[in-house]
Amino acid sequence: MIFKKYAIKKILINFVLVNIVINGFFYYFNFRNYEGPLYLQSIKGDLLFGLVMLALLCAYTGFINTQKDVLTGTFYEEDLHFKLSKYLPKTLTLRLLAVILFVSIIVYPMFITIPNLLGVNEINHTIGFLIKTGSAALAAAVIGYFVITLSISDYKNLSNKTY
């Protein structure tokens, strides 16, 4: 399979779809018995926890699985030039921390601040569910692209070294 098809399939299925289902389940589990009006404040903790767990687990499994796919030749290697790995830490722990910071600093505030700026504070369960799954989908897509390109970049840099 060509790289673009591999990347799109991997991001949509392994990152986005899985995270929509998981975060949707957690939203339902946490708010199934919630009575009364639902406010953005009510879902802030659940949203942040879900995004941090998504960043940690999604990136961790993604790094491992993508490296396996690269080594087994799951996709045809095109002339791929990813310069991302030059600017990011080399250890898995620091990379996971970078992903968690990205989600905490950029994605989470976007899904909490924008509704507040629009004057939306009281929400219903449908909107809460859409905020939770929408933020998970966006974060998973960005994380998926980051993980795939970084894993391939690492492999290419490793395979280009001469000993």
Domain that holds residue 46: 3-159
Read off the pLDDT of residues 3-45 as tens digits, 9 standing for 90 and up.
788 888 989 988 899 888 888 888 888 888 887 778 888 888 8
Those residues whose C-beta lies under 8 Å from the C-beta of residue 38, and which sit 6 or more positions away, are 31, 122, 123, 124, 125, 128
CA atoms within 13 A on the CB side of 61: 12
Please check the confidence at residue 159 and state whether its pLDDT lies above 60.
no
Please check the confidence at residue 81 and state whether its pLDDT lies above 60.
no
Phi then psi for 11, rounded to 5 degrees? Answer: -65, -45
Those residues whose C-beta lies under 8 Å from the C-beta of residue 108, and which sit 6 or more positions away, are 47, 48, 51, 135
Cα 140 from chain centroid? 2
Structurally, the chain folds into a number of domains equal to 1
Reported confidence tier of residue 163, pLDDT bands at 50, 70, 90: very low
Read off the pLDDT of residues 92-110 as tens digits, 9 standing for 90 and up.
888 889 888 888 898 888 8
Cα 106 from chain centroid? 12
Query: Of 160, 155, 161, 162, which Cα lies nearest the Cα of 70?
Result: 155
CB-CB contact of 10 with 148 (8 Å): yes
